[in-house]
Amino acid sequence: MTTKWTCILFDLDGTILDSAPGITETLSWTFAQLGRPIPTPAELLAYVGPPILDSFRDLAFMTPEESARALEVYRSRYLQNGVFDSKVYPGIPAVLKRIAESPLKLSLATSKPELPAITMLNHFDLTKYFDVITGASADEVRSRKADVVEEALLRLRHLGADITNPIMVGDRKHDVEGAAEHGVPTILVKWGYGSKVEEVGTFAVAKTAEQLSALLLG
């Protein structure tokens, strides 16, 4: 079977890496440092995936100034410790390797800033499979998934990639909705942090890495 996709975009947290332990531990520490009540583990898990400033605003009800301070505190610990407290989902390196060996160009498209994203991919020896690494900007101005997808497609186009029929791979509704703003369909993976309702509007759902590989490459 010949794939119909012309390029592929991949989310990071909840799609390639189970990074929740490092994120939620760092968030707990951050709330403690700020003198705020520490959310429950289930509440903290909701922070994994969306842009973190949005989560501070929407879930912790912080003002822009409070969110900026929380982000500063969070980053001071996450880049030293939390970034390495994660693991690769089973079968994902094989999927990425198969894509790299195909004619299709591959870009990361994560709402995590590019520095920690690259650090994590390097740590697990996965950077080599990507043609482009696209994430949020350091100042979080580019953090909406739609903006990240737009930047990823722009960078792929600059490489000479065919971006006429891209596909997004992610685990949360933010991936689905952000990609859809640019007419990009999404394959939602079931091993991530999304719920059943977040499958709405997806092109397909993959329960295993093998299913994902087949949906991407036939």
Which pLDDT score is estimated for 3? 64
Q: Give the model's pLDDT for residue 15.
A: 98
DSSP states of 36-52 as a string? -PPPPHHHHHTTSSS-H
CB atoms within 10 A of CB 67: 19
Give the model's pLDDT for residue 50. 83
Do β-strands 87-88 and 17-18 pair in parallel, antiparallel, or remain unpaired? antiparallel
Among 52, 84, 116, residue at a domain's last position: 84
Same-domain status, 11 and 90: yes
Give 166's strand partners. 7
What's the pLDDT at 63?
97
Instruction: Let me know whether 62 and 110 are in one domain.
Output: no
Predicted TM-score (pTM) of this structure: 0.90
Label residue 89 exposed, middle or buried (CB < 10 Å: 0-12, 13-18, 19+): buried
Which residue out of 11, 13, 171, 175 is catalytically annotated? 11
Any domain includes 35: yes
Residues 13 and 97 in one domain: yes
Model pLDDT, residue 1:
38
| 49 pLDDT higher than 90 | no
**Same domain? 62 vs 72:** yes
pLDDT of residue 138: 84
User: Residue 179 has what pLDDT?
Assistant: 97
13 as an active site residue: the answer is no
Q: What is the pLDDT of residues 66-107, one digit of tens each?
A: 999 999 999 999 988 899 999 999 999 999 999 999 999 999
* 170 within a domain of the structure (yes/no): yes
User: Which residues 6+ apart lie within 8 Å of 186 measured at CB?
Assistant: 167, 168, 169, 170, 175, 176, 179, 180, 201, 202, 203
Check whether residue 56 and residue 93 sit in a common domain: no
Say yes or no to pLDDT of 113 above 80: yes
- Is residue 79 situated within a structural domain? yes
Q: Tell me: do 51 and 152 sit in the same domain.
A: no
On whether residue 2 sits in a domain, the answer given is no
Q: How many domains does the chain have?
A: 2
CATH number of residue 100's parent domain: 3.40.50.1000
Same domain, 167 and 62: no
Query: CA–CA separation, 162 vs 14, rounded Å?
Result: 27
| Ordered DSSP codes for 16-39 | TEE-HHHHHHHHHHHHHHTT-PPP
CATH number, residue 24: 1.10.150.240
pLDDT bin (cut points 50, 70, 90) of residue 215 is very high
Q: Of 33, 56, 84, which marks where a domain is finished?
A: 84
Range of the domain at 165: 7-18+86-217
